[in-house]
Structure 1
């Protein structure tokens, strides 16, 4: 057996750590009013403006059913509004409301504060090294 960390062991540790950071981030963001998943939906709407639900699902990489359920929930909370697409009455456009923009800003601030606390605990050299490692992982997975 080779000395030093093995790729599979490091990979599993990385996945566990990523899950833990995501869980803590989601809990922190929920305390500010929105889950991470709901925040992602609102971020796309903030960036794109009105968008068809099918396109929203594609932007997020989520199943259309999941997006429909999330949009329905966000609509009940008055954070988004749905209306018929003028070019195709069967399709629905989803848009961010003013209340949604306010909730998005609060959630984003909460998430940014937590990420600053977590990753701000690294010194500049460690942070730069982590960024390089993440770039290498992106390349290895075809994302970069």
Structure 2
């Protein structure tokens, strides 16, 4: 007499491994990134406004003005990367670097007037992309998905051990 339960074995086989889930997350993220980049182009945003640069600009826009060091912390990126983004966006005349009146060793970032209409178009593109990707999900499924993303984002990093 066998102790194996065929229903239990079948349901276990259907459960994806952590590696399979991560692989699906990466491929889905890549597909969504391409879709978003295409939507930005449809809205007439220049090709140099990539997803990461747009997130950078959005963070500056939300802050009004922000120290470069605070930008690194808030964005979770290295200070060197903040400098690279600031260099590129300043060259495109979308970002200003200003002396910090409270700390002369610090530099503040602020959007230029040229950036504001681009940000409006980018927000429209983001909203439309979000609806295209997530609009078909029922509210409870969207809530579950959001909760899972928060849980995944809060998982301890390997280097935090």
Instruction: Quote the offset at 1:139 in angstroms.
Output: 2.7
1:6 to 16, 21, 33: 16
Question: Of residues 83, 90, 108 in structure 2, which corresponds to 1:93?
Answer: 108
- The corresponding residue for 1:39 is 54
- Where do residues 1-144 of structure 1 align in structure 2 (5 Å cutoff)? 2-8=12-18, 9-30=20-41, 32-33=45-46, 34-120=49-135, 122-124=136-138, 127-139=139-151, 142=154
Cα pair 1:39 1:108 within 8 Å, conserved: no
Tell me the TM-score normalized by structure 1. Answer: 0.82
Q: Compared with structure 1, are the counterparts of its residues 140 and 32 closer, same or farther at alpha carbon in structure 2 (3 Å cutoff)?
A: closer
Q: TM-score, normalised by structure 2?
A: 0.75
Instruction: Confirm or deny: 8 A CA contact 2:96 2:112 kept in the other structure.
Output: yes
Between 1:9-18 and 1:44-53, the stretch displaced more is 9-18
Query: What secondary structure does 1:62 align onto?
Result: coil
Give the drift of 1:118: 2.1
Distance 1:134 1:7 in 2: 21
Deviations 1:53-79 (A, max 9, x none): 111111111111111111111111111
Instruction: Compare CA radii of gyration and give the structure with the larger one.
Output: 2
Say if 1:24 and 1:140 are closer, same or farther in 2 by CA, change over 3 A.
Answer: closer
Question: CA RMSD of the aligned region, Å?
Answer: 2.2
**How far is 1:4 from its partner?**
1.1
Structure 1 residue runs of 5 or longer lacking an equivalent are none
Deviations 1:65-121 (A, max 9, x none): 11111111111111111111112222111111111121111112112212212222x
Preserved CA contact (<8 Å) 1:82 1:92 = yes
May I ask how many residue pairs the two structures share in their alignment?
140
